[in-house]
Structure 1
Amino acid sequence: MEPPAKKLRPYVTKFQRRKAEEIEGKTGSEANNVNHNESEERNDVKELFISDETVLDYDDRVYRSVLPRKVARASRISKSPVWCLRWCPKFSHLLSTCSDDAVKLYDVMKNEKIKLVRTLHHSSPVKHCDWSRSSRQLLTSTFSGNVNVFDFLNQGTISNKLKVDEQLSVGKWWKGDDNMVLLGGENSFLASFDMRTGKEACKYKFKSGKILSFDFLSGSTSFIASSDLVNRQSAEHNLIVWDLRTGAKLSSQIYHERYTCPYVVVHPSGANILAQTTGNYIARFSSQKPYRLDKFVRYQNHTVNQYPVAFDTTKDGHFVISGSSNGTVVCYKHNNGNYMRTVPLLVKDEVSCVDVQCHPVIPGMVAVGDWDGTLHVLT
Structure 2
Amino acid sequence: MEPPAKKLRPYVTKWERRQKAAAEKKLLIENENERETLEESDLKELFLTNETVLEYQDKFHKNNLPRKVCKKASLSCDPPWCLRWCPKFSHLLAVTCEKTVKLCDVMKDNEIKVVHTLQHEANTRHCDWSRTSRQLATCSYDQKVQAFDFLSQGKVTCTLEIPETPSCLQWWRDDENMILVGGENSFLASYDLRTGKEASRYRFKCGKILSFDFFINNTSFMSSCDQVNRQSAEHNLIVWDVRTAAKISNQIFHERYTCPHLRVHPSGTNILAQTTGNYIARFSTQKPFRLDKFVRYQNHTVNEYPVGFDISRDGQFVVSGSSNGSVVCYKHNNGNYMRTISLSVTNESDSCVDVQCHPVMPSMVAISNWAGNVYIIS
CA distance in structure 2 between the partners assigned to 1:35 and 1:326 by the alignment: 51
Output the CA distance in 1 between the equivalents of 2:25 and 2:236: 60
- Residue from 244, 248, 251 that aligns with 2:249: 251
**Which amino acid is 2:264 matched to?**
V
Q: How does 1:79-158 map to 2 (within 5 A)?
A: 79-158=77-156
Matched, 1:356 2:355: yes
Any unmatched runs of 5+ in structure 1? 1-24
Aligned mates of 2:128, 2:139 — CA distance in 1: 9
C-alpha deviations, 1:57-76, integer Å up to 9, x for none? Answer: 11123221111111101011
User: For 1:155-234, what aligned pairs fall within 5 Å after superposition?
Assistant: 155-234=153-232
Deviations 1:46-91 (A, max 9, x none): 1222011100111123221111111101011001111000000000
Partner residue of 1:10? none
Q: CA deviation at 1:231?
A: 1.9
> Which deviates further from its counterpart, 84-93 or 53-62?
53-62
The offset of 1:35, in angstroms, is 8.3
Please give the alpha-carbon distance, in whole angstroms, between the structure 1 residues aligned to 2:34 and 2:326. Answer: 43
| Counterpart Cα distance in 1 of 2:274 and 2:78 | 22
SS at 1:34's partner residue? Answer: helix
Q: 2:260·2:307 contact (CA, 8 Å) conserved in 1? A: yes
Offset at 1:253? 1.0
Q: Does 1:288 align with 2:277?
A: no
Match of 1:48 among 46, 53, 71: 46
**Identity of aligned pairs, percent?**
62
What is aligned with 2:18? none
Aligned length, in residue pairs: 355
Q: 1:34 deviation in Å?
A: 3.0
Quote how far apart the aligned CAs of 1:28 are: 6.8
The question of whether the paired residues in 1 share the 8 Å contact of 2:100 and 2:119 is answered with yes
Match of 2:7 in 1: none
* Amino acid corresponding to residue 365 of structure 2 in structure 1: V
Give the conservation status (yes or no) of the 8 Å contact 1:88–1:131.
yes
CA contact 1:212–1:226 (8 Å) conserved in 2: yes
The answer to whether the 8 A contact 1:44-1:118 is kept is no
* Structure 2, gaps ≥5 residues long: 1-22
**Aligned-pair RMSD on alpha carbons?**
1.5
Alpha-carbon offset, residue 146 of structure 1: 0.4
1:33 alignment counterpart: 31
SS of residue matched to 1:99: coil
Alignment partner of 1:317 is 2:315: yes
By how many angstroms is 1:135 displaced? Answer: 0.4
Q: Deviations over 1:217-259 (max 9, x none)?
A: 1211100000000121111210000011111100031001000
Which amino acid letter does the alignment assign opposite residue 153 of structure 1? L
Q: What per-residue deviation string (whole Å, max 9, x for no partner) do you get for residues 85-104 of structure 1? A: 00000001110001110100
For residues 252 and 361 of structure 1, the distance between their equivalents in structure 2, rounded to whole angstroms, comes to: 36
Residue identity matched to 2:83 = L
Q: Deviations over 1:313-354 (max 9, x none)?
A: 001100000000000000000000000000111311121110
SS at match of 2:177: strand
Calculate the TM-score normalised by the size of structure 1: 0.91
CA–CA distance in 2 between the matches of 1:37 and 1:235?
57
Length-normalised TM-score, structure 2: 0.91
Shift of 1:44: 3.1
